[in-house]
Structure formats: structure tokens, C-alpha cells
Amino acid sequence: MPAHRFLLGAAFNLFSSLPYASARFESANWREKIRQLLKEQKFDLLVCDFLFPAVSLPWDEKELSAIPWVIFQHNVESMIWLRRAENKRGLASFYWRNQWSRMKRHEMEMCSRFDGIITVSEKDESIFRGDLALTNVLGTAPTGVDLEYFQSFPRTSSAVPTVMFMGSMDWYANVDGVNWFVEAVWPLIQREMPEARFVIVGRKPPAEIQALATTGRNIEVTGTVPDVRPYLRGADVIVVPLRIGGGTRLKIYEAMAAEVPVVSTTIGAEGLDVKDGRHVLLADTAEDTAVKVLQVLRTPGLGAELASHALEEVARPCSWEASAGVFENACVSLIQKRSQS
């Protein structure tokens, strides 16, 4: 969404009962289509994939429905808005804190209307049960990754030390993280290793990110790519410099599956069952991040050891098959419970 449209919508949203992030996705047409499907066809379960579509469900039909309704929460959305507010000052801080407060109320109210909530991490599950006081949390379906897909592409190497970020560049948290890395961390790395290059791989980079490729600082911005594996399997280290976020980061598991060492902030690796120094390296300051990236670039044995442990960790419990099985079991259990009531 263009910045001017976002700002205009955000301003008008001050008069809405919904936080802007949810209000802009509300659709009366979609609500009526779902209502029609529920009346015309027989289903075992309704699954709402994340919070935002929930505002467009035909809630008046739920009381008449014989099937359970489940929401799959990719993260705790209100936590993301709180972290955005913490990185703002002045009037911007007031606006984002107002949106956080409204989002928290909205998230609690909306999630409580479902028969069950499934989360993507134990940390998120704990927040829903504790901070949001929700009693309908079914459990956690862990993040999965297609190990065979990433292993099937050959590992390559470059004569130029390559640091890579991958992620959708139309997502605010990724833009914020990349900008912080380029401004605070990259100069420290280049001072020690001027030949190193930083490759930003992700769809729809805004103008401010595209402009980084013209700064003469050995930065490449790819935009959308047909296949991320050539870039991923050719990188020496993946960075996940996120300061805002929630849920889990699939990009870390993909890097682990591709046997590429990862340097991440604590928030970037939040919710994943990874250990600092064994599966990934964690750093939250610019200085520590630069030091750990340089350690990997200068010490191939360290990167290889991290990649080996990471691959072993991600191979077993993190397959899509295992994750889907956990999700399926939670849904089946709820269906059975409803049929017995």
C-alpha cells in the first residue's frame, strides 16, 4: 500500500471502533459469500487463518452453526503494535500506542469468540493464555519447513563474502530491520571486510530499500525472485535483524534447512526452539551483530558447525508433515468434543 494511502486511512481510522490493521481488511462481500457457503454446504470445521479475516466472518451465523470455529494465529498481533510504539517518539508514539491498546482489546474480544485458538509458538500460547486471559487456546502447531526442497538445490560458494537478508519487503518489520542493519551494522562489517556484499532478497522493496543498491556500499536489492534457493544456498551467512515482530520467522528455519548459518536478534528468533551458539548466533546491538557476522565470515568451521547442528534440529520436529499433524490433531479433537456435547 502506498504510504500516502496508509497515512490517510490511518487518520480516518481514529473514528473507527476497529484498529486500522483490521478495519482496512473488512469486506461485506466476503462475509456474505462465507454465509452462503455455510448454508449451502456441509463442513466439519471453519478455520480462520489469522486475525484480520475474522472481522469479515458472518458472526450471526456462528450461534446457528453445528461446527466449531477455529482461529490460527500467526503471531500475537497486539505485541507487534506494542513493539512498533516502543520504537517511536512524540506524536508517532501516541498514535502507535493508541493503536496497540485498541488492537489488544480487539484481539482479546475477537479471539474469545472462536471455539479454539491454535498458535505457532509456545511463547505466543503463553501470551494468549496469560496476558490476554483467553481460555480457549488449544495449543501450538510449530513452524514447519520443506527440508527436501531446500536440500535439493546444490550449495555454492562465492569468492566474495556474502551476507544475505530474505523476507517480504512490503512488511514494515523487515524494512525497519534492514534499514537498521544497513545504517548501524553494515559500516562496522565493511570497516573490517570492505569486500563483503549485502544481498537483500524479497518482494516489493519500497523506494527507500531500492535506493540502497545505488549507494556504492556493496548492497544488492533483488526484488521478487522466482526461486530463493540460489541466493540462499550461495550465502555465507543469513542475518535476521528484526526489532519488531511476533510469532515465528520461517526465514530462519529455511536457512537452517539450507545449511546456512544465521545471525539474528533475539526478537528475530523468538518462538523458535533454537539455542544461541549451537543452532544460531544471537545479537541485539549493532556492535555484537557485526562481531558475530564477521566471526562466521572469517571462521568457516564455525559456520559449518552451526549449519550442521541447525540442520539436525530442523530435520525432525520441524517438517511440514509433523507440523500439519499437530494442527490436524488439535482440530479433530475439537470436532470430536463438539460432536459429543
What are the φ/ψ torsions at residue 64 (nearest 5 degrees)?
Answer: -90, -10
Measured CA to CA in angstroms, residue 228 lies from 167, 222, 257, 303 at distances of 10, 10, 13, 20
The per-residue pLDDT for 248 is: 59
Residues making up the chain, counted from first to last? 341
- Do residues 167 and 229 share a domain? yes
Q: Does residue 157 lie in a domain region?
A: yes
Q: Are residues 268 and 288 in the same domain?
A: yes
Give pLDDT, residue 16.
Answer: 66
Q: Which three cell numbers stand for residue 68?
A: 466449531
Q: Domain span at residue 260?
A: 147-317
Residue 92 lies in a domain: yes
* pLDDT tens digits, 89-137: 777 777 778 888 889 999 999 999 999 999 988 889 999 999 999 999 9
CA distance to 94, 125, 146, 332, per residue, from 122 (Å): 31, 5, 21, 20
CA dist 332 and 3 (Å) reads 43
Alpha-carbon distance of 49 to 304, in angstroms, equals 37
Are residues 67 and 186 part of one domain? no
Shared-domain flag, residues 110 and 204: no
What stretch of H or E contains 116?
A: strand 116-119
For CA atoms 78, 84, 90, 95, the dihedral sign is negative
Question: Per the domain annotation, does 2 fall within a domain?
Answer: no
C-alpha cell at 286: 549493532
Burial 73-94 (b: 16+ CB within 10 A, else e): bbbbbbbbbbbbbeeeeeeeee
CATH of the domain at 39: 3.40.50.2000
CA distance linking residue 266 with residue 59, whole number of Å: 38
Nearest to 190 by CA among 221, 218, 160: 218
Residues 51 and 73: beta-carbon distance below 8 Å: yes
> Is position 214 within any domain?
yes
Same domain, residue pair 227 and 299: yes
CA distance 41 to 36: 9
**H helical segments located in the chain:** 3-12, 20-23, 28-40, 59-62, 77-86, 90-112, 122-129, 147-151, 172-180, 186-192, 207-210, 229-232, 250-257, 286-298, 300-315, 320-340
Question: Domain check: are 153 and 287 in the same one?
Answer: yes
> How confident is the prediction along the chain (341 residues), in pLDDT tens digits per residue?
444 455 455 555 555 678 888 888 899 999 999 999 999 999 999 999 999 999 999 999 888 788 999 999 988 988 888 877 777 777 777 777 888 888 999 999 999 999 999 998 888 999 999 999 999 999 998 888 888 899 999 988 888 999 999 999 988 889 999 999 999 999 999 999 999 999 999 999 999 999 999 999 999 999 999 999 999 999 999 999 998 876 557 889 999 999 999 999 999 998 788 999 999 999 999 999 999 999 999 998 999 999 999 998 887 666 778 888 899 999 999 999 888 87
Same domain, 271 and 334: no
Q: Are residue 301 and residue 327 in the same domain, yes or no?
A: no
Assigned domain for 204 exists = yes
Q: What pLDDT sits at residue 1?
A: 47
Same domain, 161 and 226: yes
- Is 212 within the bounds of a domain? yes
The answer to the question of residue 269 being in a domain is yes
Q: With 0-12 CB in 10 A as exposed, 13-18 as middle and 19+ as buried, what is 117?
A: buried
Do 59 and 92 lie in one domain? The reply is yes
Q: Is residue 126 part of a domain?
A: yes
Please give the tally of structural domains in the chain. 2
Query: Do 336 and 258 fall within a single domain?
Result: no
pTM above the 0.85 mark? no
255/233 Cα distance (integer angstroms) = 8
Same domain membership, residue 199 and residue 58? no
